[in-house]
Structure 1
């Protein structure tokens, strides 16, 4: 091939490459920036096998139109659970009017001690709108397994405490699981993530494999 022809071909290819590079990539442009872990499309759950404190079976579907924050813990938790629930209170405040579209669910991993009256009182100490859910030992184990939650009874003096996963799952207003909020995230970061969910449609994420 003539030298001038080769140069012309290379020049044309370079211009084409630069033109393509200048175009926005739809997938990347549409991807929301989140502080939490995007688990959109994950097979976690997809629902809970527990009940409300009045004995009625609980379901994520009961909260269609709201964002649901699901946290597993126990009422005698000395630090992790109170911190997570206090953060949820602040998240709700930071969301302003959208805070009314937020529902917090607290699933106990200690049904032996966490009776319905105790759970109701514990929720009211943080926010009257927060809801506790519980089950027997088998139902608790099943739900924890469905959501890949670890928990274990640990002897402590004459009694015991519970070790458990400190993560908050977020469902969007259509009932689809979307996010895993880490315990170290600030209320501001979490609120920003929730605002993003309220404004975007779900798209499957490759990180979902970590939670399947």
Structure 2
């Protein structure tokens, strides 16, 4: 219980730290997605996201171009996460189903920040159990670090005497569009219906 409390508290603090990457301002009139955004992004959307190279559930090397083939909701977490990741990824999966009911095809993507334990098979099973369309990705420590840095996320494994260590990490979900790249982030408190509303707005504006 102490470990769980520490993890939850640590994630909350890190989420707040991650929020420093963003600022809330008025929409840019030249931005065709302005009507969909909940706030502007420091440095512009181009400051977040970009190319990555990771391993899929089959252990095959894939790039962002291979993965982001339709509007995608990207989340960085780890499969051994006791509380936050299951809730966040389940929310993302539910939003994908709501969007499907509305006629929008989207893909949930889960990128592990725990490459030591999250093998391709482990990540693949975790992702599929959450949603049949969810893509699970992992990689070498260097590959994971590069992807995390591209999306301005934070993660750090906590010291432990066994394999049951916790990993502090930021908890944003990212909407990424083919050809457009990153366009919007979602905080943990955003519900699946609200997420679906925003995602559909971006898709309509493409």
CA–CA distance in structure 2, aligned partners of residues 37 and 102 of structure 1: 23
Give the aligned CA root-mean-square deviation in angstroms: 2.6
Aligned residues: 176
Q: Find the counterpart in structure 2 of residue 32 from structure 1.
A: 35
The structure with more radius of gyration: 1
Within the candidate set 174, 180, 186, 2:185 is matched to 180
TM-score by length of 1: 0.73
Alignment match of 1:194 (pick from 190, 199, 205) = 199
Gaps of 5+ in 2: 1-27
Closer, same or farther: CA 115–64 of 1 in aligned 2, 3 Å: closer
The alpha-carbon deviation at position 41 of structure 1 amounts to: 3.5
Question: Is 1:109–2:121 an aligned residue pair?
Answer: no
2:84 aligned to 54, 60, 80, which one? 80
Q: Which structure has more RCO (C-alpha within 8 Å, separation ≥ 6)?
A: 1
Runs of 5+ in structure 1 lacking a partner?
1-25, 202-212
Partner Cα distance (1:66, 1:99) in 2:
13
TM-score, normalization: structure 2? Answer: 0.75
Change (3 A) 1:38 1:189: farther
> For residue 170 of structure 2, what is the aligned residue in structure 1?
165
More displaced stretch, 118-127 vs 55-64: 55-64
Is 1:94 the counterpart of 2:98 in the alignment? yes
Partner of 2:46: 42
